[in-house]
Amino acid sequence: MYDIAILGAGPAGLTAGIYAARGGMSVAVIENQAPGGQAALTAEIENYPGFETISGFDLTARMVAQCEKLGVVFVYDNPTEIALNGDVKKITTAYSGTVEARSVIIATGALPRPLGVPRESELLGGGVSYCATCDGAFFRGKPVAVVGGGNTAVEDALYLERFASEVYLIHRRDALRADALLSDRVAKSTVKILWDTVVTDLVGAPRLQSLTVKNVRTGETSSVRVDGFFIAAGRKPASDGLTGVALDESGYVLTDDEMRTNIAGVFAAGDVRRKSLRQVVTAAADGALAAENAVKYVGALKA
Ligand code: NAP
């Protein structure tokens, strides 16, 4: 039995691990992918204080090492059942048995949201990708497109400039949602922005060969020749299977300012939580608060 189990090894979960271990707790972090979360897939992070620029992989690897040094146990497995009620929480995993803990911190983060264009899943790995940093290098010397107008889409487009012969950024409106700094950077780059444009079809089999796009103002359709298509149409919270945890209408976990959920002893931190700013620094801050309150909760249970 652990004092605290943390679901997810992104910046929120890893920071919670550091704070909980330093608070004298026994801690297990359960992660179903590689550690680091979405941050680990970010090529350059330029807004985490103390680092003018650092790769997401390096930043999160440091957090993992810090956790390990403090004795945090990592369980790399898929939770199949999560039972959060009562004084003993139970997380059943596919291969590593059941992790029991007095308190749980949900830090499962968010996942890319599919665009919803026909054949999107069929062409995944055949030219369609949700991760420019993972797959960008496969498109050296080839034309690629990114869809979306947020920070992820702009960062992806700028990252893909390193490899691709041409980068298109396809956005459904006439203004980007991305930060001013990134918007300015992309405006000055070689990225070709297709404004007011949506992707209606993915053409090619077994690999993507082109996109059919439609200008939403004029109704005109055209074809864009690309080998790679990177989808950055936002994220959805990874909150499936959290039975009994109060979520908002979009599936984000509801907490108070102290990261408490509606279930005693269950806290949430990071991108899975309903909040206004999703960044590594706010994930880390959530993780610290969640751990601090979990430590207090477990302390009171043991008293
Ligand atoms: P986001 O900010 O939600 O942006 C999603 C983009 O996709 C929007 O521009 C949206 O268009 C577009 N979109 C959504 N559904 C679409 C559809 N069906 N068809 C066409 N376009 C569609 O998502 P994100 O860029 O992944 O960012 C997620 C969070 O992480 C944000 O809070 C972001 O600030 C943060 N983040 C921060 C950084 C950083 O600070 N460097 C980097 C990456 C992510 P509309 O604009 O028209 O809605």
Q: For the chain, which ranges sit under pLDDT 50?
A: none
The CA-based angle 135-65-83, given to 5 degrees, is 80
Tokens describing residue 200? 């209606």
From 152, 156, 184, the mutation candidate for ligand 1 (largest count of ligand atoms within 8 A of CB) is: 152
Could you tell me the distance, in angstroms and rounded to a whole number, from the CA of residue 254 to the centre of ligand 1? 21
Residue 166 parent element (H or E) = strand 166-170
Model pLDDT, residue 83: 97
DSSP 103-146: EEEE---EEEPP---TTTTTTBTTTEES-HHHHGGGGTTSEEEE
Q: What is the pTM of this model?
A: 0.90
Q: Which two tokens stand for residue 289?
A: 């608060």
Q: Does ligand 1 come within 6 angstroms of the Cβ of 153? A: yes
- What local confidence, expressed as pLDDT, does residue 181 receive? 97
C-alpha 46/C-alpha 153 separation (Å) is 16
List 3, 67, 135, 271, catalytic entry: 135
Residue 25 C-alpha from the chain's centroid: 27
What pLDDT score was predicted for residue 298?
A: 98
